[in-house]
Amino acid sequence: MKLYRDERKDNKLTINSSTAAWIRFLRNYGPIPTNDNMYDESIQRALKRHAITPIKLPAPLIDKLVDNFKSPAPISQIVTGTAGDGKTYHCREVWMSLGGDPALWDKGGKIQTLPIGVRSLVIVKDLSELQQEESASLIARFAHDVMNPSATTNYLLAANHGQLLEKLKSAKQTEEVIEVSKAIEEMLVTGINPNRDVHVKLTDLGRSPAAKLLNQIIDTITHHDGWQGCKDCSANNDTDPCPILENRRRLMANGPEHPFRSRLTALIELSEYNSNHFPVRQLLALVANSILGHPDVRDRLMTCDDVPDIQKNYKTYLASIYRNIFGDNLSRRKVEKTELFRKLNAFGIGFETSNQVDNLLVYGADDPGYHTDYETLLLSDKIYGATPAYVSAQHAYLEGTSNTNQNNFLSELRAQRQRLFFTMPNDMEKKYSLWHLTVFHYAGIYLDVVEKIIQGQAVPRRALNMIVRGLNRIFTGMLVQNHDKLVLASSGSYSQSTRSPLLDELISVPRHGGESVSLGADETHGVNIVVRLMYGDQIPPITLELTPTRFEFLGRVSEGALPSSFSLECHEDFLAFKARLLGETQKRREIDGEDQMIDGELVLRFIDLNNDGLAVERRVVVRV
């Protein structure tokens, strides 16, 4: 044992210094207290100091912006986004691509002007840096120039949404400023410019797809040349690999037999469909924390110097990348305060589980029925899977010696569920109900549906049936089974009441007589439930965005089991949707000249359930 330790001491000496600097630099992107990682400016300084190749981030917009400003009739641009979306980065790249002097830029002027031929371009990398008077006069000039097609000055303004609105509101409210403000506000919310006279384009970096960005960031970071020194580092050996390098290796693996990356991007995608956006900075923090996270080191992010001690204390398993994704290396308080981890932990991965998975994890070692799977899913991973810590906790738990054992094992169990979510091979996904490891049991189907829709393929029948049945149950408040017709019911009184015994209309799900219920994509790549009532455009289709949460709600309702956590939120949404549908069917009846009262007879259509649970209509006539 003594010898072993001494060996490690020697190893410490062979750490490559340039790699160590790179790791320290990468660490700055992680969730560390200094918060310095927030700003492009400080990153530029650090890069210079350590002669590190800059991390080249994907910025698909830069080309578009540059082309625009080079064109004969450029339009002024506003770039908005959340803190960390890369606004400053974009401005800097545009400045350089258009021939601006980097040295001049780095002096940090708040308002920079660049001549382009006879025109000039004013770049403001952060509107909020401007003093009240500065911004007021800038906004006034800006409003004047964008309203004037013959103006020769164009603008590139960057600001986050709140600041942008604040600056517009605090400027002197001339007619031009008011017009421009109105247009910008509308563009912020709806993405559409309502006023053709306002020559300005607004780009929201918050709307670029984060899943794609994440893949690019992972590739950029894991292939960075800073890693080259690892080759001859002695912390890296086969029996006890360096956790940093191990995490990097797992992150790099991509392809069908390595589901990790696709599962991670699936989570990001689902979050985004639930309108939780991940700015670039958060994605960087996620990658940095995934690779470097460990609960026992300073700031809970490893440096190269920490590795020998971790290995010495047999704590490598705590650096598990699958735990780090959810910030489990950090304190609970920190996790709750960090938006990134709040969003990822909303999936409940580690807490949610299925019987099969838990049986495997608890009894798998001894149960012959689970033997092969236990081998594939746990024993094969000596580093983060069947680690000595896990095996002994499992043993102690099954022996049931004390309460501490139980808690200890529960936390191990959590880590394993997290790991299984990311490593379960695709062909075992069904058997172990992979998505039951999250709160979104139907997320797998959801992603499948979204992909099919985007590719223009037919939506799986099963998914549509599930949606329609779920809607029917919510609309009627009864356990109806219909899935080929949308049962639009009303309570006769207010739409919020839970039970609706009166039939309004049965709307055919397959195309029939102008009616149909389908799923479709919209311009922002969201998925919508689309209900059509008529041919032609007299009544436009009624749509409802189908987020993963709503999809989950419908799925659970259609199977008759609803966890209380959904409570009111989705239910209210769907009732509001029903209210809209009821309004439109009413309109259709007016167009068709139908009336509920004919010659003093009022027809009430009650919904009865037949023996198969199908809703059938029963007409009752009241002479009034």
Partner 1 sequence: MEILDRPHHIQERNGPAFWVDEAIWGHRLHDEQSPWLIVLEFLNVLLAENNAGRLLSENGFNTLSYKPQIQLRLRNLVFNNPYIVTKLAQKTGDETAWNDWLVCMNETAGGLTKPDFSYLRQNFDSFKDFASVINFLQKSAIEGTSNKRWSSKFVFPFGPHALYEDLNIKQNGTLTNDRRFFARTGEILYLMLCRSRQVDKLRTLLDEHFIQASSPYDSMAHALQGETQYANSEHGGAFLPCSSHPVFDKIAEDWISILSCPVPTYDKIPHLVTMTGLNLLLYLLYRAQEVLGVDRVRLICEIVSPRKTVIRDLSGDSYQHNNLLPQQAIRHFINQITHTPAWVTAMAAPDPRLSVADLLHKTFDWAEDNEEDHITSPHRLVLQLEERAIIRHRQHVGKIHAAWSRAIGLSSRRSSRRTRYAPNDRLLKTLVVCCVKKRMEFREFLAYLHMRYGLVIGDAQAHDIIAKGDADQEDFSNNAQRLEDRLASLGLLKRLSDSCAYVENPFQRDQDA
Q: Which residues bind partner 1 (CB under 8 A)?
A: 80-83, 160-163, 165, 188-189, 204, 206, 275, 277, 339, 491-497, 499, 501-502, 549, 567-569, 572-573, 576, 579-580, 582-583, 596-597, 602, 604, 606, 618, 620-624
Name the residue among 276, 248, 265 with its Cα closest to residue 213. Answer: 265
d(C-alpha 479, C-alpha 519), whole Å: 23
The CA-CA-CA angle for residues 412, 258, 343, to 5°, reads: 55
Q: Tell me how far, at minimum, the Cβ of 582 lies from partner 1, in Å.
A: 8
Q: Tell me how far, at minimum, the Cβ of 136 lies from partner 1, in Å.
A: 20
Q: Tell me how far, at minimum, the Cβ of 206 lies from partner 1, in Å.
A: 6
Q: Tell me how far, at minimum, the Cβ of 91 lies from partner 1, in Å.
A: 17
Give whichever of 147 and 546 is closer to partner 1, judged by the CB atom: 546
Give whichever of 14 and 496 is closer to partner 1, judged by the CB atom: 496
Question: How much helix, strand and coil, in percent to the nearest 5, is found in the chain?
Answer: 55, 15, 35
Buried-state track 65-75, b at ≥16 Cβ within 10 A, e below 16 = bbebbeeeebe
Give whichever of 4 and 494 is closer to partner 1, judged by the CB atom: 494
Give whichever of 461 and 623 is closer to partner 1, judged by the CB atom: 623
Give whichever of 332 and 430 is closer to partner 1, judged by the CB atom: 332
DSSP H helical ranges for 118-222: 132-146, 161-170, 175-190, 210-222
Give whichever of 70 and 618 is closer to partner 1, judged by the CB atom: 618
Give whichever of 235 and 478 is closer to partner 1, judged by the CB atom: 478
Instruction: Copy the structure tokens of residue 322.
Output: 């699958």
Residues 6 or more apart whose CB falls under 8 angstroms from that of 332 comprise none
Cα distance between the two ends of the chain:
97
Q: Tell me how far, at minimum, the Cβ of 187 lies from partner 1, in Å.
A: 11
Strands 119-124 and 502-508: unpaired
The CA-CA-CA angle for residues 490, 491, 492, to 5°, reads: 90
DSSP H helical ranges for 424-568: 443-454, 461-476, 548-558
d(C-alpha 437, C-alpha 95), whole Å: 47
Q: Tell me how far, at minimum, the Cβ of 43 lies from partner 1, in Å.
A: 20
Q: Tell me how far, at minimum, the Cβ of 165 lies from partner 1, in Å.
A: 7
Give whichever of 250 and 277 is closer to partner 1, judged by the CB atom: 277
Q: At what angle do helices 17-27 and 40-50 cross, to 10 degrees?
A: 170
Q: Tell me how far, at minimum, the Cβ of 161 lies from partner 1, in Å.
A: 4
